[in-house]
Amino acid sequence: MDNTIEIRWHGRGGQGAKTAALLLADVAFKTGKYVQGFPEYGPERMGAPITAYNRISEAPVTIHSNIYYPDLVAVVDDSLLESIDVTHGLKKEGALIINTEKKKEEILPLLGGFQGAVYTLDAKAISIKALGKNYPNSPMLAAVVAVSGVMDQKDFLREMQASFAHKFAKKPEVIDGNMRALELAFAEVAR
């Protein structure tokens, strides 16, 4: 499909990869895109590997399957690099975003010779700085938007502010921290 970006998320249960994929779909929809956001279900439990997906398009999305050849892959937990081929099917002109404390040079040997763009982000450090806890999904969500260019950053931040205001209506103190995590991720995602 033309003008469609397909994204695959890898994380562990409880890290928010599924939530990030669903939030991205929601925000993209609110900015006028056609979207899909869905997890791949199996025997998921806290800490078990999970996969989630997004399709975001300027035209109606008529495909209803998993994503086998993504344009972008987001890895929320770098320990998965040793057990899962996160680059499987990733288009060679695609991009990979990895949440890691490690230098990119340490990560590259774990990517099976992937030749596309590789971005790193210490989403843990960002979330601890902004929220006081390790919630890597907000920084990774912003990194996906920054790298993919799927929507304008100002539109994204405006819609995320509204989404957080609704989601955290009973805990408004976490809204500012989540917004700060998004802004820090935009500034810090590195290629």
DSSP letters of 170-190? T-THHHHHHHHHHHHHHHH-B
Q: Which two tokens stand for residue 96?
A: 């990979």
Q: How far apart are CA 30 and CA 143, in angstroms?
A: 19
Q: What is the mean pLDDT of residues 26-32?
A: 95
pLDDT value of residue 157: 95
Task: Assess whether pLDDT exceeds 90 at residue 11.
Answer: yes
Residues 126 and 185: beta-carbon distance below 8 Å: yes
Where residue 134 falls (left for φ over 0; alpha for ψ -120 to 50; beta otherwise) is beta
Q: How far apart are CA 153 and CA 38, in angstroms?
A: 23
Q: Which two tokens stand for residue 157?
A: 């931040």
Q: How far apart are CA 112 and CA 119, in angstroms?
A: 16
pTM of the predicted structure, to 2 decimals: 0.92
pLDDT value of residue 73: 98
pLDDT value of residue 107: 94
Helix axes 17-30, 153-167, angle to 10 degrees: 120
pLDDT value of residue 2: 66
Task: Assess whether pLDDT exceeds 80 at residue 28.
Answer: yes
In which band, very low, low, confident or very high, does the pLDDT at 168 lie, cut at 50, 70 and 90? confident
pLDDT value of residue 172: 77
> What pLDDT digit, counting tens, does each position of 125-157 carry?
999 999 999 999 999 999 999 999 999 999 999
Q: Which tops the pLDDT comparison, 172 or 124?
A: 124
Place of tokens 């993209």: 28
Task: Assess whether pLDDT exceeds 80 at residue 1.
Answer: no
